[in-house]
């Protein structure tokens, strides 16, 4: 942290700042220029100082943070990048963050054995390796369909095993981690839970990889700090997932921040996936945005596919039909070599 | 919901829409104009239809929702407005939503018996009726001070009782509701938990009033739907609290949306409080924004006051000193009569 | 500007930064700590350096700007605050930024002699001192009513003179400054023109005060830099006007940033007005937000009033009826003493 | 427009709405359901009604617009899409919106004959067909470099002619259109001028194609209405250009809205370009975002390239070096066939 004093700051004011820093356990490094004094705070935990604590002290013009606030999630912790493997009990395996781009696909919500079996078969045929499907559904309205719960997880697991796929599904609460861990291979955390800190700590004790979606208005810094919560509690297998942020645009449900992909790759060693289904909210925008995400360097895709979108119990409007998904996979195969990647 | 067809929509496309509506349990009301057909969906639960489910069907130009999606939280449910009382075991009592404006004040976090006792005495003297203080702290970084837990609640209760005040404190998780209910009179839900739906349902089973803060990027509709979660689970004693939304402005921590106050008053019967401390994040903006909130019709204020802000363990930069708080209370007493209110 | 080097930055990289700074005319002030080097750029024009120019140079971790980029608009230029007077040829006079709060009111657009005369009489009676009314209208759609032009200005002037009022009206382009200056006492610049830099320079040559509205997504820094354009071209009589920023909220047209009022008062010596009509876009929100603005310290208000809002040619939905305006003025008279002000 | 009445609306209130619509020249189409009445406004210009004019009338619950507000810019006006050609006096020619993707490249600002000549040669060699370069520079601060003016345009033209390229350059004001038209082949309008309506009308009288950048916080609807201003004044040759919108993210200068590309393609027949240099503001994000834009269906790219970015007079931080640009062009050639396009 750098504290820039006003040109007319008094010696007493400067000393008060230095004392406050010292009291909080930092070395204060003072440099006196022709017109103003600048004080640097140096210490192992400089990242956790709140700049605002100094902003209103006498004689202070501005306070600037100079270190990133994370430790384990930062690129510097593992400059070569992390490769995070997920495996199923039956031996299916994918790796996120390596040369292969992993495609996860399936319906928004598990609705029935027929539905999930049919979708699993078609997305597997087209090249998806991980089956997605919601059993616990976070819905904005208490009156919307809330998912089949554990029964949905069972159907999801059976459908994935029949296709030698892995399973990803959302958990909404610490109380669901144990039951979900019996059936899924990757735990998904939704955008609205990105800063549910109690929950993040519990996920840090889980043994499965966690896919952490970005909050609707989260900055990249907050997102990485949420990953830090999970990692600092013991679980380093975190996959980030961009799913659109809120802007004032009304033609799309969210604005998918494709630039988050290269920026996260520079700030962090963690792999990053993209969810163009939630990112746009409209079926005919999913394919262009999936292509864009891969072209920008995404390590994985999470895509909603439904065998009968018009009658889906939730989010049918943003689900691809199986034929549209197969067509998209063919386009992706054309783009991947240009960015030095291949399909998992 | 109103579905507007394209000028050239075919009879078959129109029939497909009507069939889909009927299948979902709605009456379809067709009106055929000179150039286009408009189909209205009528039914008890029209509010829960997802307009996007129809948006991509053949021949559809636009889909518009015409009913508000809430039932219990809407003004129409109780047109005269709700007055929500909170009481302490010792008999202290306040009412939110009536002619009196309730002021809740205290430190961001409970730090020690001395600190909370000193703050309680000074805010009570200036006119606050409810003591605030955090025992469970949601912090963006896992390395920040996380609160004293149950010990903090005990200190808070004792300090409040000594001053004949009520207590409000934040709970972060369903697992904290029981322990908090032993010590507090109003349960506070933070902005980051506004859409933690599992938690909201549990709060619906609590017997204490709940103060529900608005999420950082929540629309008013989402906020009221979160209140609806609590209410539809059994607890109708919900107080809303505006605490600033995220914008691109960097001189303030958040942008406090004062206009939410009159808009909520029109949409809902629930009382609305304002938190100018989190709403701005800077001490010298707290008083102007507290005055503005009351002038715009706020039913309550939630304000951070610390006996020694420069050494506070969290959010000291946005805490008022006791003298500043007393000065603000004097200003409020000048403004309240102009809006037909008085201090609780 | 402060340039923070990476812990492992080489001597050569450091030297390259210092050379670049020197070449741009700055003194480089190097301070070498235990683990990292920090370089400060000192010079009269440090405010105009683009931090991004250094961000991608080798060995650089972060670049931080430490001085505010404005000179004339900053509070430091006139710490006691500016009082800006406006006068009409007939001798009407108001001062912005002093102890009096100035109320400017009138219709969105001048429509006819009867309309403007009737509105002028009623707002004057209720206490407004400046008559507003649009003659050149910036409209999002090319098919909307675009204003009466010079004829509208004539009607506005005549109506104001009959009531001994001043006149404010919007100019959209450098070509309109001369004609408008014949009829108005304050030139208004709309939100969409806040960064029309060619136009701002021309306004700097005008002799009338300029009321500069904040852009829909402008930061306070950008807004003050636009004021700086006008001031550095010779015209120091700038009044800022908050009129709502764009957020994702859909129940209001814009979100009025009341906190801009105290923040601007700290950053700048210029007076600041508030426009609750555009700030909310809905008539029944105008009075609460006008009260809030004054309670937060606004120096002036700009309010739309129409004698027959239901038949207004533009923005009728956000115009007060004369009776509503009179009621608001009475409420303001109650609030003003609490903030140490009085009505002009 | 559809006006939904409250369940308890009176016959008199309904009649008042119908009268108001009739007075404004619309046919009112009333449909009375079991619990409520819905009134549709039908007429050639329904798009220009302001829904808010009806929102506050008695008995009205909600007012919904059902037609898009543009005529010439909408896809329905030319369903097959527009192909817009640009040609130089020397016979160079490109077409926007056809099977070829056009790459426009060059420095942020023209600085000298050597600089522009060197950049032109290198971008042409790598495959760019249009040379960009600023002569009139809109700068947030009045103290920043403002461009070389007409002299810059001359240098730009000469450099382009030497390489058989076309020229695109920004005009900031109606007064610059004539002089710019002597040297450039495409007129560029910057984000800050997107709603400078007087200027847009003048551009409608120009004979050159206009590249219209999206405003920093413009919705797609506002953007298309600005195109409508130019088109309705006579010039149908409009190319849209996405250049990033403002969000709260601070690691990038703007958030490039890649989804605008497929959405605009659905709403409008106009071609759309992407500017990843302004869209991200950082050199190392330009290539990923250029690839993403093309993968999402962009018709053209506008990219900043500088022969010596570290010493550029403006925006050096977001300029590619010639070698980086050549590498990007090679990647694009790999991606284009996957989306059925080729390089111009």
From chain A, pick out residues whose CB is under 8 angstroms from the CB of C34: 27, 42
pLDDT for position B21:
83
C262 interface with B at CB cutoff 8 Å: yes
From chain A, pick out residues whose CB is under 8 angstroms from the CB of B201: 142
Separation of alpha carbons D131 and D159, rounded Å: 8
Tokens of C82: 């500016």
Separation of alpha carbons C328 and C315, rounded Å: 19
Is the pLDDT higher at A42 or at A87? A87
Separation of alpha carbons C4 and C62, rounded Å: 5
Kindly determine whether residue A338 and residue D339, on different chains, have CB atoms separated by under 8 Å: no
Q: Please report all neighbours of D, defined by 3+ CB atom pairs within 8 A.
A: A, B, C
From chain C, pick out residues whose CB is under 8 angstroms from the CB of B248: 217, 219
C-beta of residue C297 within 8 angstroms of C-beta of residue C109? no
Q: Which of residues 266-305 of B touch A (CB under 8 A)?
A: 281-284
C34 interface with A at CB cutoff 8 Å: yes
Separation of alpha carbons C268 and C239, rounded Å: 11
Give bridge partners of residue C101 from the DSSP assignment: C343
Give bridge partners of residue D242 from the DSSP assignment: D274
Residue A305's pLDDT band, with cuts at 50, 70 and 90, is: very high
Instruction: Select from A248, A257, A289 the Cβ nearest to the Cβ of D296.
Output: A289
Mean predicted lDDT score pLDDT of chain D: 90
C-alpha separations of C344 from C102, C122, C261, D173 in Å:
5, 17, 19, 38
Sign (positive/negative) of CA torsion A310, A313, A319, A323? negative
Sign (positive/negative) of CA torsion C278, C282, C285, C286? positive
Separation of alpha carbons C270 and A186, rounded Å: 56
Q: Is the pLDDT of residue A8 over 80?
A: no
Q: What is the mean pLDDT of residues B315-337?
A: 92
Kindly determine whether residue A246 and residue C248, on different chains, have CB atoms separated by under 8 Å: yes
Kindly determine whether residue C296 and residue B294, on different chains, have CB atoms separated by under 8 Å: no
The nearest alpha carbon in chain A to C65 belongs to: A64
Kindly determine whether residue B291 and residue C289, on different chains, have CB atoms separated by under 8 Å: no
The nearest alpha carbon in chain C to D145 belongs to: C48
C-alpha separations of A139 from A134, A310, A315, B50, C171 in Å:
11, 19, 11, 12, 48
C-beta of residue B240 within 8 angstroms of C-beta of residue B229? no
Is the pLDDT higher at D43 or at B198? B198
For strand D37-42 and strand D2-5, is the pairing parallel, antiparallel, or unpaired? antiparallel
pLDDT for position C142:
82
Separation of alpha carbons D136 and D174, rounded Å: 12
The nearest alpha carbon in chain D to B35 belongs to: D42
For strand C100-106 and strand C93-96, is the pairing parallel, antiparallel, or unpaired? unpaired
A173 interface with B at CB cutoff 8 Å: yes
pLDDT tens figures, C89-137: 999 999 999 999 999 999 999 999 999 999 999 999 999 999 999 999 8
Residue C67's pLDDT band, with cuts at 50, 70 and 90, is: low
pLDDT for position B66:
65
Q: Is the pLDDT of residue B47 over 60?
A: no
Rg from Cα positions in chain B:
23
From chain A, pick out residues whose CB is under 8 angstroms from the CB of C47: none
pLDDT tens figures, B256-298: 999 999 999 999 999 999 999 998 888 889 999 999 999 999 9
Residue A71: CB atoms within 10 Å = 17
Interface test with chain B among D64, D215, D244, D255, by most B beta carbons within 10 Å: D64
B85 interface with D at CB cutoff 8 Å: no
Mean predicted lDDT score pLDDT of chain A: 90
A250 interface with B at CB cutoff 8 Å: no
Kindly determine whether residue D61 and residue B64, on different chains, have CB atoms separated by under 8 Å: no
Q: What is the mean pLDDT of residues C277-302?
A: 94
C-beta of residue A39 within 8 angstroms of C-beta of residue A30? yes
Q: Is the pLDDT of residue C34 over 70?
A: no
Percentage, residues of chain B above pLDDT 70: 93
C-beta of residue A7 within 8 angstroms of C-beta of residue A36? yes
Shortest Cα distance from C340 to chain D (angstroms)?
35
Kindly determine whether residue A66 and residue C64, on different chains, have CB atoms separated by under 8 Å: yes
Separation of alpha carbons C168 and B94, rounded Å: 47
Residue A308's pLDDT band, with cuts at 50, 70 and 90, is: confident
Separation of alpha carbons B287 and B301, rounded Å: 11
Give bridge partners of residue D37 from the DSSP assignment: D32
Residue B45's pLDDT band, with cuts at 50, 70 and 90, is: low
pLDDT tens figures, A248-285: 877 888 899 999 999 999 999 999 999 999 988 888 89
For strand D100-106 and strand D60-64, is the pairing parallel, antiparallel, or unpaired? unpaired
C-beta of residue A240 within 8 angstroms of C-beta of residue A273? yes
pLDDT for position A48:
56
Question: How far is the first Cα of chain B from the last one, in angstroms, to the nearest whole number?
Answer: 43
Q: Which of A81, B119, B255, A282 is nearest to D262 (CA)?
A: A282
Residue B172's pLDDT band, with cuts at 50, 70 and 90, is: very high
From chain A, pick out residues whose CB is under 8 angstroms from the CB of D220: 249, 251
Residue with tokens 């029964």: A151
pLDDT for position C48:
56
Q: Which of B326, B196, C201 is nearest to A199 (CA)?
A: B196
Distance of CA B121 to the CA centre of its chain: 27
C-beta of residue A316 within 8 angstroms of C-beta of residue A306? yes
Kindly determine whether residue D247 and residue B248, on different chains, have CB atoms separated by under 8 Å: yes
Beta strands in A10-81 (DSSP E): 27-32, 37-42, 60-64
Q: Which of C140, C211, C150 is nearest to C175 (CA)?
A: C150
From chain B, pick out residues whose CB is under 8 angstroms from the CB of A225: 140-142
C149 interface with D at CB cutoff 8 Å: no
Q: Is the pLDDT of residue A72 over 60?
A: yes
Residue D328's pLDDT band, with cuts at 50, 70 and 90, is: very high
Separation of alpha carbons A41 and C33, rounded Å: 10
Kindly determine whether residue D257 and residue A250, on different chains, have CB atoms separated by under 8 Å: no
CB pairs under 8 A between B and C: 124
Residue B342: CB atoms within 10 Å = 10
pLDDT for position A147:
86
Percentage, residues of chain C above pLDDT 70: 93
The nearest alpha carbon in chain A to B223 belongs to: A140
pLDDT tens figures, A194-232: 999 999 999 999 999 999 999 999 999 999 999 999 999
C-beta of residue D211 within 8 angstroms of C-beta of residue D243? no
Q: Please report all neighbours of B, defined by 3+ CB atom pairs within 8 A.
A: A, C, D
Shortest Cα distance from D180 to chain B (angstroms)?
35
Kindly determine whether residue D141 and residue C47, on different chains, have CB atoms separated by under 8 Å: yes
From chain A, pick out residues whose CB is under 8 angstroms from the CB of B139: 197
Q: Of all helices (H) and strands (E), which one includes residue B254? A: none
Interface test with chain A among D330, D331, D338, by most A beta carbons within 10 Å: D338
Kindly determine whether residue B50 and residue A310, on different chains, have CB atoms separated by under 8 Å: no
Separation of alpha carbons B163 and B270, rounded Å: 28
Q: Is the pLDDT of residue A40 over 90?
A: no
Interface test with chain C among A34, A40, A266, by most C beta carbons within 10 Å: A40
Interface test with chain D among B1, B2, B41, by most D beta carbons within 10 Å: B2
pLDDT for position C325:
97
Instruction: Select from D219, D289, D293 the Cβ nearest to the Cβ of A249.
Output: D219
Instruction: Select from D61, D64, D248 the Cβ nearest to the Cβ of B64.
Output: D64
For strand C27-32 and strand B342-343, is the pairing parallel, antiparallel, or unpaired? unpaired
C-beta of residue D1 within 8 angstroms of C-beta of residue D42? no
- The torsion region of residue C342 among left (phi > 0), alpha (psi -120 to 50) and beta comes to beta
pLDDT for position C57:
78
Q: Is the pLDDT of residue D313 over 90?
A: no
pLDDT for position A208:
98
C138 interface with D at CB cutoff 8 Å: yes
pLDDT tens figures, A236-252: 999 999 999 988 877 88
Shortest Cα distance from D66 to chain B (angstroms)?
7
B12 interface with C at CB cutoff 8 Å: no
C-beta of residue C107 within 8 angstroms of C-beta of residue C304? yes
C-alpha separations of C65 from C43, C49, D197, D308 in Å:
13, 8, 35, 23
pLDDT for position D139:
80
Kindly determine whether residue C20 and residue D233, on different chains, have CB atoms separated by under 8 Å: no
pLDDT for position A300:
98
D255 interface with C at CB cutoff 8 Å: no
Q: Which of residues 304-333 of B touch A (CB under 8 A)?
A: 310-312, 314-318
Which residues, 6 or more positions from C236, have their beta carbon under 8 angstroms from its beta carbon?
A: C72, C82
Interface test with chain C among D68, D108, D140, by most C beta carbons within 10 Å: D140
From chain D, pick out residues whose CB is under 8 angstroms from the CB of C225: 140-142
Tokens of A55: 């902003």
Residue C283's pLDDT band, with cuts at 50, 70 and 90, is: confident
* Strands lying side by side in the sheet with D2-5: D27-32, D37-42, D2-5, D60-64
Distance of CA B190 to the CA centre of its chain: 9
Residue with tokens 């920093």: D216
pLDDT for position B105:
98
Separation of alpha carbons C161 and C155, rounded Å: 10
From chain A, pick out residues whose CB is under 8 angstroms from the CB of D245: 247, 249, 255
For strand B60-64 and strand B2-5, is the pairing parallel, antiparallel, or unpaired? antiparallel
Q: Which of residues 192-231 of C touch D (CB under 8 A)?
A: 192-193, 195-199, 201, 216-217, 222, 225, 228-229
């Amino acid at each position: 942290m750098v504290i820039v004093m006003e040109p007319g700051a008094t010696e007493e004011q400067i000393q008060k700042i230095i004392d406050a820093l010292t009291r909080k356990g930092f070395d204060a490094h003072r440099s006196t220029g022709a017109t103003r004094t600048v004080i640097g705070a140096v210490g192992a935990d400089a990242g956790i100082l709140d700049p605002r604590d100094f902003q209103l002290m006498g004689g202070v013009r501005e306070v600037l943070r100079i270190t990133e606030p994370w430790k384990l999630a930062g690129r510097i912790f593992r400059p070569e990048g992390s490769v995070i493997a997920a495996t199923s009990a039956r031996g299916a395996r994918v790796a996120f963050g390596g040369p292969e781009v992993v495609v996860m696909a399936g319906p928004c919500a598990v609705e029935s054995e027929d539905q999930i079996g049919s979708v699993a078969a078609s997305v597997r045929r087209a090249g998806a390796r991980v089956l997605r499907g919601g059993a616990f559904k976070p819905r904005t309205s208490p009156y919307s369909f809330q998912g089949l719960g554990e029964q949905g997880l069972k159907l999801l697991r059976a459908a994935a095993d029949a296709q030698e796929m892995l399973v990803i599904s959302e958990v909404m609460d610490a109380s669901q981690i144990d039951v979900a861990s019996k059936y899924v291979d990757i735990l998904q955390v939704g955008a609205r839970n990105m800063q549910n800190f109690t929950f993040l700590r519990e996920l840090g004790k889980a043994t499965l990889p966690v896919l952490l979606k970005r909050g609707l208005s989260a900055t990249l810094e907050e997102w990485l700090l949420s990953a830090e919560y999970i990692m600092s509690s013991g679980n380093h297998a975190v996959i980030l997932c961009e799913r659109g942020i809120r802007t004032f645009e009304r033609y799309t449900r969210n604005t998918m921040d494709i630039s988050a992909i290269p920026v996260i790759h520079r700030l962090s060693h963690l792999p990053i996936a993209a969810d163009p289904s939630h990112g746009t909210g409209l079926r005919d925008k999913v394919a262009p945005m999936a292509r864009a995400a891969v072209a920008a360097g995404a390590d994985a895709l999470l895509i909603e596919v439904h065998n009968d979108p018009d009658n889906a119990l939730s989010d049918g409007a943003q689900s691809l039909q199986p034929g549209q998904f197969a067509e998209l996979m063919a386009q992706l195969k054309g783009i991947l070599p240009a960015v030095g990647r291949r399909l998992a």
